[in-house]
Structure 1
Amino acid sequence: MAIAERVYRKLFPASDIETTFAPIEQILERLASGEIDAAIVTLPSDEPSTRVVTLAQERMLVCMRSDDTLAASSAVEASQVTGRLRIFKPPAAQRKAHVNMMKLLEEEGIETGVPLFASAVHGQFEMVEAGLGLTLVREHSDIPEGLVTRPFA
């Protein structure tokens, strides 16, 4: 369970939560139309009719195979992942977040090369396990055996 969902459940224990994987724009449309009362989404969101309350913030960590040479380090330098950090969720799922992340990577001098997209985090893990590249995951993600995460230095 994501950290934001755990926080939400503590704040509103009687509230039901329906997990839906959809582009944020669709979820925000449902919220704006009154179809749902609240949503836990990854920021940014600029939907004018919504009120945003930050429930949690998590660092993004580099996920790699445990036998990767970078796994021996406690943290990785941006230059060490250039060309290797290339597995992402499809941009359509969280377009603004994806654009912001790509800008940040570019500002840090990280070239992603030709990206690979996985519709869910388990797909990202499978691609990493197959040796297709590295991915970014939230700090408190459950990582499959054989993979490890490292923060940026």
Structure 2
Amino acid sequence: MSDSLTFRLLRYIKASAESLNFTRAAEQVFVAQSSLSHQIGKFEDNIDVTIFDRLQNGLKLTPAGRIVATYAENTLREWEQTLVMARAVQRNEVPPLRVGFSSFVNAKLLEKFHEGYDRMFSGCTIQLLSGDPLLCLQRLDGRTLDCAILPLPIDEKLYCVQQIAQSPLVVCMRSDDVLADLALVDIHEVAQRITIFPDPELHPSAHACLLEMFGELGISMHLSCSARTPSEIQWMVKERFGLALIDQLSPLDSGLITRAIVGLNWTADTAFVYVSPTDHVALPFVERFLRETWMESRRRRLPSKVRVPEQMELLV
């Protein structure tokens, strides 16, 4: 896009797109109507794009103009957010970012998030608050948390949700299990032995997804033991209460191993969740970077017949 696109022109375009009238737009940005319309017209000539159709009773955005007007609106909003954050950092007025997290979120994600936030906003602090997903969502609703890192799914009608990580679900077993010599396991052959699951009350929607995944294969879930933390799940496996499905990237206790499931793409998905970007001055920057990084990580994936764990490198 032409270097002549300045913040001044962006404001002119935004005001004109909102009012669909050069006169009213000029009043909004405190400039003469002739100057505003001339500069927009000159800019249209420079980029060879007609932004507005001039009508007898006002303006009409062209299809190409809608793209430019959207860019103007987004850029100006991001610039205002940047100014607010920069001033807050300079004045040492950035409040601690209160981040909730579930025990089922990989600790490496939290470490990367903390390190990245400190690089972005040096000297600004993070407060971590552990809790099951439902509790974290309640705290978000009550504004005692600014954001959270939680397992998916999360209702995107109620919250802003940006996926940040994904890795395969694998079967966790004792290293002396009869299946330990296999490189891959068949879900139909081991399903009856998979009896240890996270407590359904911790994250009902995630449990419903598991039920659906099993159901699509014509398999019934055999939940006989439930746990509130990953460490409880691994303890139950070690004590021979059954097998469990866990995130492939989870650290394993001694005496335990994992095996991939042949032919399935079941994954543990993690997201950055918040209610409103106005809840904390840093949220727009964090969400934007996580979104861009996630999209880039998806583009970089190499096709492979073997499912490769994918974990986003946060804020690097």
Instruction: Measure how far apart 1:111 and its partner are.
Output: 3.2
* Aligned residue identity for 1:115: S
> Contact conserved, 1:66 with 1:147, CA < 8 A, in 2?
yes
Q: For 1:27-46, list aligned pairs within 5 A.
A: 27-46=136-155
Answer with 106-115 or 122-131: which moved more.
Answer: 106-115
Q: Gapped runs of 5+ residues in structure 2?
A: 1-105, 119-123, 263-316
Point out the structure with the larger helix share. 2
Residue 246 (structure 2) aligned to one of 129, 137, 145: 137
Q: Distance in 2 between matches of 1:103 and 1:38?
A: 28
Residue 130 of structure 2 corresponds to 20
> Contact conserved, 1:118 with 1:124, CA < 8 A, in 2?
yes
Q: Distance in 2 between matches of 1:48 and 1:32?
A: 13
> Contact conserved, 1:86 with 1:134, CA < 8 A, in 2?
yes
Q: Provide closer, same or farther for how the CA distance between residues 63 and 17 of structure 1 changes in structure 2, counting only shifts above 3 A.
A: farther
Q: Distance in 2 between matches of 1:134 and 1:77?
A: 13
- RMSD of aligned alpha carbons: 1.8
Residue 123 of structure 1 corresponds to 232
Question: What do the CA deviations read for 1:96-126 (whole angstroms, capped 9, x no partner)?
Answer: 0011012102222443334211221111111
Q: Distance in 2 between matches of 1:39 and 1:114?
A: 28
Q: Distance in 1 between matches of 2:168 and 2:127?
A: 24
Q: Provide closer, same or farther for how the CA distance between residues 109 and 72 of structure 1 changes in structure 2, counting only shifts above 3 A.
A: farther
Answer with 28-37 or 56-65: which moved more.
Answer: 28-37
Instruction: Measure how far apart 1:71 and its partner are.
Output: 1.1
Residue 79 (structure 1) aligned to one of 188, 194, 202: 188
Instruction: Measure how far apart 1:27 and its partner are.
Output: 1.0
1:4 aligns with 2:109: yes
* Aligned residue identity for 1:125: Q
Instruction: Measure how far apart 1:31 and its partner are.
Output: 1.2
Runs of 4+ residues over 4 Å off in structure 1: none
* Aligned residue identity for 1:21: G
Identity of aligned residues (%): 30
Instruction: Measure how far apart 1:48 and its partner are.
Output: 3.4
User: Which one has a bigger Cα radius of gyration?
Assistant: 2
Q: Gapped runs of 5+ residues in structure 1?
A: none
Residue 104 of structure 1 corresponds to 213
1:90 aligns with 2:195: no
Q: Distance in 1 between matches of 2:162 and 2:209?
A: 20
> Contact conserved, 1:7 with 1:55, CA < 8 A, in 2?
no
> Contact conserved, 2:197 with 2:223, CA < 8 A, in 1?
no
Point out the structure with the larger strand share. 2
* Aligned residue identity for 1:56: A
* Aligned residue identity for 1:118: A
Question: What do the CA deviations read for 1:7-60 (whole angstroms, capped 9, x no partner)?
Answer: 4234312441414122x2221121122211110011111163421111111211
Q: Provide closer, same or farther for how the CA distance between residues 17 and 42 of structure 1 changes in structure 2, counting only shifts above 3 A.
A: farther
Answer with 83-92 or 99-108: which moved more.
Answer: 99-108
TM-score normalized with structure 2 length: 0.45
